[in-house]
Structure 1
Amino acid sequence: MTRRDAVFPPDRHALYDAHQYSPAIRSGDLLFVSGQVGSRADGSPEPDFARQVKLAFDNLNAVLKAAGASFDDVIDVISFHTDPEKQFETVMGIRAQEIGEAPWPTWTALGVTWLAGFDFEIKVVARVPLAKM
């Protein structure tokens, strides 16, 4: 078995070490990005929901950039929400600013009861052409 090709952004967050996971794993031209949350550098949740969502996208974009990718390379998204009905409008507003023009990636949104103190998490799979790596 080949060793995992882990991708870390330059500003490594405390959560990666605390919970023992990699922000992303590259396999060929596919990039599997772990769920990104609106954590501050010390790993604590951003308390303001809109800022937490924006910070989750910022953290996601940092991981994508470290792999030589951008949101344009994302093909599949899964997002997790602790209160989807109340959070929907805020998430959709920030999402519209972050994901660019159509065609958009596939997207599955899930309501969950627990995200370790966070209220939003976003996980993606991207295709990063080997020429970009």
Structure 2
Amino acid sequence: MMENNPLEISNPAGIYDPRDHAYSHVATVTAADLLVFVAGQGGSRTDGVLSDDFRTQVKIVFENIEIALASKGLKMNQIAKLTTLIVDYNEEKHEILIEESTKIWPDLKFPVNTLIPVARLALKGMLIEIDATAVNS
């Protein structure tokens, strides 16, 4: 583990380098630290309006996660694990997710992420939902 950092992101040799797809293979968390779980966030703000634009929803999802983490004194670089659900997943949506993720993690130390294509999410018009697990030391 890195000194004074309870979260270590790594990509072991022998497995392909996943950073071009905006995720990492392994997140290691020191057991003595506090874990913060953020429920799946959708692409709407407090007004509940969902844009038809996928990129807009992705940006709002990440903004919502950032707000939730900030409420506990955490930042986006303290996320260890994401689960991403995308409606009607395709390569264009994948590229948008990568582009927006790279803006948040320009050092390419992406959280571990499982991407799951789905037919539908909880609300009509929801195109993406992401939950997060972060660590606070």
Q: Aligned residue for 2:19?
A: none
Equivalent pairs: percent with the same residue? Answer: 27
Partner-residue secondary structure (3-state), 1:80: strand
Structure 2 residues without counterparts, runs of 5 or longer = 1-32
Q: Is the 8 A contact 1:31 1:126 kept in 2?
A: yes
Q: Aligned residue for 2:65?
A: 60
Q: Aligned residue for 2:132?
A: 124
Query: What residue identity is the alignment partner of 1:30?
Result: L
- 1:80 has 2:85 as partner: yes
Aligned residues: 102
Q: How much does 1:44 deviate?
A: 2.6
Q: How much does 1:100 deviate?
A: 3.6
Query: Which sits farther off after the overlay, 49-58 or 35-44?
Result: 35-44
Q: How much does 1:94 deviate?
A: 0.8
Q: How much does 1:73 deviate?
A: 0.8
Q: Is the 8 A contact 2:45 2:64 kept in 1?
A: no
Q: TM-score, normalised by structure 1?
A: 0.71
Which runs of 4 or more aligned residues in structure 1 lie more than 3 Å from their structure 2 counterparts after TM superposition?
Answer: none
Q: Is the 8 A contact 1:81 1:110 kept in 2?
A: yes
Q: Is the 8 A contact 2:102 2:108 kept in 1?
A: no
Structure 1 residues without counterparts, runs of 5 or longer = 1-27
CA distance, structure 1, for counterparts of residue 104 and residue 35 of structure 2: 21
Q: Aligned residue for 1:112?
A: 118
Q: TM-score, normalised by structure 2?
A: 0.69
User: Superposition RMSD on alpha carbons, in Å?
Assistant: 1.4
Q: Aligned residue for 2:100?
A: 94
Q: Is the 8 A contact 1:77 1:105 kept in 2?
A: yes
